[in-house]
Amino acid sequence: MSKIVKKITDKEKHTPAHAPGFMGRLGVVFNELGIKPREYVSVIADSTGLSKSGARLVMEADRPPKQIDSFSKFVSYLSYSLKEKRIVASEDQLASYLLTGEQNPFKSSDEDTFSLTEFLEQGPVLTSQIILKVEEVAKINDIDTNEDISKDAIRLIYYRIANHCFKNNIHSDFNEAEKQILSLLILAKDNLL
């Protein structure tokens, strides 16, 4: 249990007040873990002990689990999962980042060129929709994004499409982007990206 969560637990049974944008920050953590938006509800439910409807409520309300025990389990799960991927982020760092948005443990001086962090922080819902659209276009065209395309290439595709949508204020109608998505997917599948 992190020091921050333990300090709170000694006083309260509920998660403390948090800064707006919890799901955006959680999206950043999930992105680092390679967890896709369609998996969020299951991961939240499985790692916190909440029901799936409780996990959906966390997402819809854009807040951490109300019970400090659930939040503590969640932070421990995230920290352990990151360590398995050789990403160092202590429970204290994660708890602080998720609650306040301060001290992003994933930003470094040599920031990943194709990181979705900036998009997830600016518009978590739009970024998730873009990722889902890329996955949808891939599925329609029989491209398996886990098998046919490298992790780096799919991150590059997510990044390029998100960058395009944010720069051009495309917030819902992704028809224009579909052709670009398919072109990038085909190039990536042929290892030309």
End-to-end C-alpha distance for the chain, whole angstroms: 42
CB 138 within 8 A of CB 154: no
CA atoms of 109 and 106, how far apart (whole Å): 10
HEC per residue, 87-153: CCCCHHHHHHHHHHCCCCCCCCCCCCCCCCHHHHHHCHHHHHHHHHHHHHHHHHCCCCCCCCCCHHH
Amino acid at position 34, single letter: G
Look up the pTM and report it: 0.56
- Per-residue pLDDT, 102: 80
- Per-residue pLDDT, 46: 95
Structure token pair of residue 133: 């659209």
Domain extent listing, the chain: 3-100, 117-189
- Per-residue pLDDT, 110: 42
- Per-residue pLDDT, 8: 46
CA atoms of 173 and 160, how far apart (whole Å): 17
Sequence length of the chain is 193
In the chain (193 residues long), the average pLDDT of successive 10-residue segments reads 49 70 90 89 94 93 90 93 84 90 67 68 85 93 90 87 86 83 92 81
Strand partners, 67: 14
